[in-house]
Structure 1
Amino acid sequence: MPVSTVDAVVIGAGPNGLVAANALADAGWDVVLVEGNDEVGGAVRSAEVTAPGFVTDLFSAFYPLAAASPIIRDLHLEEHGLVWRRAPHVLAHALDDGSAALLCSRVEDTAAGLDAESPGDGEAWLELVRGWDRIRDPLLDALFTPFPPVASATRMVRRLGAADTLDFARLAVTPARRLGQERFSGQGAGLLLTGNAMHTDVAPDAAGSGMFGWLLCMLCQDVGFPVPEGGAGELAQALRRRAESRGVKVLTGIRVAAVTTSGARATGVRLADGTILRATRGVLADVPATTLYRDLLADQPLPARLRRDLDRFQWDNGTIKVNWALDQPVPWTAEAARGAGTVHLGVDQDGFVDFAADLSVGRTPERPFLLFGQMTTSDPTRSPDGTESAWAYTHVPHGTDWSGDRLADHVHRMEDAIERVAPGFRDSQVARHVQSPGDLESENPSLVGGAINAGTSGLHQQLVFRPTPGLGRPETPVSGLYLAGASAHPGGGVHGACGWNAARAVLGANGRMTGGARRLLARTAWDRLLRSE
């Protein structure tokens, strides 16, 4: 049986795995990155699947978190071929009556549009942005660093003061729908806040949804919704090129069958072909928590409480994604939607609630909420002149068999929703490519049942509850093994933080960084789990 020895093995070459490999290589470690697919990127990949010359982002497409992430920024991927492109406008919400709320690249323009609908709403929007500007850096640090984020939280409190800290804490748990009602008299700002909150699986009337909506809206005003020139895959390829330039060995088309252990410590991995990769310092797994503990550690005894908590692990909703090659730009009724890279559509404010209720009870939404991407509008290299490479996705109940007539009927509902706000859309189609939840999982096994965030974003499975209660960190009960995927804090999105935090943890455990107190906290959490046996 072939055996190789390295400092660290990273399982999975999604963005988190790629970031982790880069971080370890920067520390001078000998790293092997193993990816089961033929290409790196995980949910950050692109291909021509509709028609020749039309580039489609197969999973994710717009990357505000990547553009804002200090982790991604400090990798200087522009030196490795990454070019960001942006649409004239960031985002629009198109309504069936032909109107649209518009989030512009310039905050002053967004405010002016909101004020034109309802005087005073522009100033209320500017107030939200001023609050963002005040705490932007420590907030992003808090979001992207291991829990608890003591230093960054302290900086936030100092900037805000006691009274404003309480106001911000209230905003963080306010439902998105309520946040819009409290702050604005018109409907436009509420549509923008709630639509952005619905990028997660948190209902618009649920605690915490306002924080998601506010955060994405503020990122819209700060960095926009940028896309990599040439396709989403270019972001992954830039990460790969950087890693390889620092000595990382990338193996693709090779599946990891198991994490090998000795005496409750990870010693490496066994590949599907029987090859053993020994890791003298650590194994980092950019996979869902359930995959790590139930599949890759199938033969490893685990704490009873952890096994019980995994039984309660909740996935986020499934996803149906449809990709189109169009022979012309989308014929939106609302002029404001024509220059927006992202368009929300299908529902109004009350429709958000109905849509979320359908998902909550496992019912097929009759009027789905859609996120629509105009990729050529954002990046002219995506399709021939005068055409549009477009996609839309909608969430559906997790665990349902989305195939056959059920899938076809829902795709028809999606196109009906677009046709209501862009009459003639169907006539402009050159080709169409449909991805069901099962297709998404087949193409990327980390998207279990079409869940794109590796577990619900609900408060009961965030922070110290992610992926299971008491953790909130990348360490696992197996010494030398780290969870580096989006099931770990801070969760889904292309920001690299899950991989970076895992890399920091393994470096710290090997004496390459400070942070003894944080490591002690992680050990204490696991000690509580072990004592509960």
Structure 2
Amino acid sequence: MSTADGPSTTCDAVVVGAGPNGLVAATALADAGWDVVLLEAQDEVGGAVRSAEVTAPGFVTDLFSAFYPLAAASPVIRGLDLEQHGLRWSRASDPVGHALPDGRGAVVRADAQETAAGLDAAAPGDGAAWLAMVEQWSRVRDPLLDALFTPFPPVRAATRLLARTRTRGALDLARLAALSVRRLGHERFAGEEARVLLTGNAMHSDLPPDGAGSALYGWLLAMLAQDVGFPVPEGGAGALASALRRRAEAAGVRVRCSAPVSEVLVEHGRATGVRTEDGSRVRARRGVLADVPAPVLYGELLSAVDLPPLLRSDLDRFQWDPATLKVNWALDGPVPWVAPEVRGAGTVHLGADDDGLVDVGADLTVGRMPRRPFLLFGQMTTADPRRSPAGTESAWAYTHLPRALAGDADAVHEQVGRVEAAVEEVAPGFLGAVVGRHVQDPSALEAGDRALSLGALNGGTAALHQQLVLRPTPGPGRPETPVPGLFLAGSSAHPGGGVHGACGWNAALAALRQRGPLGTVRAALARTVWSRVLSDPR
């Protein structure tokens, strides 16, 4: 079939964007028997889950994300049985460590007792405190993950969680969700080593160490490190994306790459398909699911639609997370760390001590370029020996920048120097081992994945004012949008950034549940909620 605009295809649902969330959404719909077309602007699937040889021949670099504790723990990803489609996980001997500027090191080892022993040697009592934290995690793990990854409000998961914790335990978790990671570290631990393990993990988000809510991120990632580790796909991040694609295509999904979408089609007030940049149309009988940032969906793909003025006003207040700078290296040998504790860690945090991490957060908050940047450093060959020739190392580091300075080429170049100086400080001789280097500045990261606005990794800030019913804007906190038949499936939706597939899964469930009598009721309720939110005078 063709139209005046170009060729036309008809299906049950079209999914825009083949990042992890889009791939999961398409697979869930296809598993339910829907005919699904998945459109991706890039020439390969994966979004921010891709790899390539960019530093030197034979050295595999993960171009964006690299370690996947959330994927390993996510009931959504685990339920797809990706191992049946070629995925194999690899793990470093130690999941994550922190190299302090004075040469000390802290590490989460695969065994909790060994982690505790190392922390206790640094500060007596901290080992027992760590094991108490692990015990708390084991008690709430399953219902908490279900609550985090399911559509809001997570009634069943919250009920199970309350049954596990009782009232006092639930209040402790609520306090943890509002606490700063700096306060949590100082409440629980006497030594700096344990504190920086929590704070370094918290800084995977964009929350400052003394910011409300940062404790939950630090605690969650530290406990996942202790539980499932920080695994990587054998052969590169692209292997995870390839397994997701094979799983989707096995379910019947039609994947089309190099097919950027220019518009979501809306007829008689309902989303009915999309138009691609070459003029082709894909008609959708049942729904359109968009694995794109909320500002892109509402501001670009729906630019011709008469959206409620309050929604557009809310989008003007949408806050991105900071920009990102990433530097990749090929090394002719292992990283020469001073601290022996971090030599076997796949992920190493470095650049600042406990107090210095607060300074980094303050710099980013006020728009200054941190003079002592905090780095997340990946030793990929340590985690997966297939990433580079024997005896060498494929490594990278990323750091956050103020968005206002992301386009200042001189400032970014200077920060690259500070990044390398920070590594050299804790690993003297590092620069002499470099045989290849590749820099991804904020613009390059966005060019590689349009969802990464200036390298923003989480689809919008993780701060409390843009979470739950406030994500991405004040509303029901669900994937439904004010346009019937259109669902937000990207990380701008609850529960946010990270490779866990929940945003796509939740959008697929919402699309599936719109059918039938109960679905009609749900759709009516969603429209009522949106109507009330968007018509409420301020």
- TM normalised by structure 1 equals 0.98
CA deviation after TM superposition for structure 1 residue 126, in Å? 0.7
Distance in structure 2 (CA, Å) of the matches to 1:530 and 1:198 = 34
CA deviation after TM superposition for structure 1 residue 408, in Å? 1.7
Matches within 5 A, 1:109-508: 109-508=114-513
Deviating more after overlay: 451-460 vs 161-170: 161-170
Kindly indicate whether residue 528 of structure 2 is the aligned counterpart of residue 524 of structure 1: yes
Deviating more after overlay: 95-104 vs 289-298: 95-104
Q: Tell me how large the CA RMSD over aligned residues is.
A: 1.3
The residue identity in structure 1 corresponding to 2:236 is G
Kindly indicate whether residue 65 of structure 2 is the aligned counterpart of residue 49 of structure 1: no
The residue identity in structure 2 corresponding to 1:14 is G
Distance in structure 1 (CA, Å) of the matches to 2:322 and 2:8 = 40
Distance in structure 1 (CA, Å) of the matches to 2:524 and 2:322 = 35
1:51-108, Cα deviation, whole Å (9 max, x unpaired): 0000000000000000000000000000000000000101110012111011111111
8 Å CA contact retained: 1:204, 1:352: yes
What is the aligned counterpart of 1:93 among 90, 98, 102? 98
The residue identity in structure 1 corresponding to 2:526 is A
The residue identity in structure 1 corresponding to 2:185 is G
1:268 is paired with a residue whose SS is strand
2:480 is paired with a residue whose SS is coil
The residue identity in structure 2 corresponding to 1:37 is Q
8 Å CA contact retained: 1:403, 1:436: no
What is the aligned counterpart of 2:81 among 58, 73, 76? 76
2:477 is paired with a residue whose SS is coil
8 Å CA contact retained: 1:288, 1:485: yes
CA deviation after TM superposition for structure 1 residue 164, in Å? 1.6
8 Å CA contact retained: 1:202, 1:458: yes
The residue identity in structure 1 corresponding to 2:235 is G
8 Å CA contact retained: 1:230, 1:382: yes
Distance in structure 1 (CA, Å) of the matches to 2:317 and 2:110 = 41
CA deviation after TM superposition for structure 1 residue 172, in Å? 1.6
1:8-40, Cα deviation, whole Å (9 max, x unpaired): 000000000000010001001100000000010
Q: Structure 1 residues 154 and 520, CA, compared in 2 at 3 Å: closer, same or farther? A: farther
Distance in structure 1 (CA, Å) of the matches to 2:468 and 2:406 = 31
1:217-273, Cα deviation, whole Å (9 max, x unpaired): 110011000000000010010000011111111000111110001111000001111
The number of aligned residues is 532
- TM normalised by structure 2 equals 0.97
The residue identity in structure 1 corresponding to 2:246 is R
Distance in structure 2 (CA, Å) of the matches to 1:224 and 1:491 = 21
Q: Structure 1 residues 404 and 163, CA, compared in 2 at 3 Å: closer, same or farther? A: closer
The residue identity in structure 2 corresponding to 1:130 is E
Q: Structure 1: which 5+ runs fail to align? A: none
In the alignment, what sits opposite 2:66?
61
Q: Structure 2: which 5+ runs fail to align? A: 1-5
1:13 is paired with a residue whose SS is coil
1:133 is paired with a residue whose SS is helix
Distance in structure 2 (CA, Å) of the matches to 1:479 and 1:253 = 27
CA deviation after TM superposition for structure 1 residue 520, in Å? 5.7
Q: Structure 1 residues 174 and 255, CA, compared in 2 at 3 Å: closer, same or farther? A: same
Distance in structure 2 (CA, Å) of the matches to 1:99 and 1:2 = 62
Distance in structure 1 (CA, Å) of the matches to 2:51 and 2:523 = 38
8 Å CA contact retained: 2:177, 2:215: yes
1:399 is paired with a residue whose SS is helix
Q: Structure 1 residues 64 and 296, CA, compared in 2 at 3 Å: closer, same or farther? A: same
Q: Structure 1 residues 265 and 61, CA, compared in 2 at 3 Å: closer, same or farther? A: same
Distance in structure 2 (CA, Å) of the matches to 1:40 and 1:446 = 13
Distance in structure 1 (CA, Å) of the matches to 2:490 and 2:93 = 33
8 Å CA contact retained: 1:303, 1:529: no
2:256 is paired with a residue whose SS is strand
The residue identity in structure 1 corresponding to 2:437 is R
- In percent, how many aligned pairs have the same letter? 66
CA deviation after TM superposition for structure 1 residue 530, in Å? 4.3
In the alignment, what sits opposite 1:510?
515
Distance in structure 2 (CA, Å) of the matches to 1:154 and 1:53 = 50
Distance in structure 1 (CA, Å) of the matches to 2:524 and 2:103 = 57
Distance in structure 2 (CA, Å) of the matches to 1:133 and 1:42 = 32
CA deviation after TM superposition for structure 1 residue 524, in Å? 3.0
1:164-188, Cα deviation, whole Å (9 max, x unpaired): 2111211121100000000111111
8 Å CA contact retained: 1:102, 1:110: yes
1:501 is paired with a residue whose SS is helix
8 Å CA contact retained: 1:174, 1:211: yes
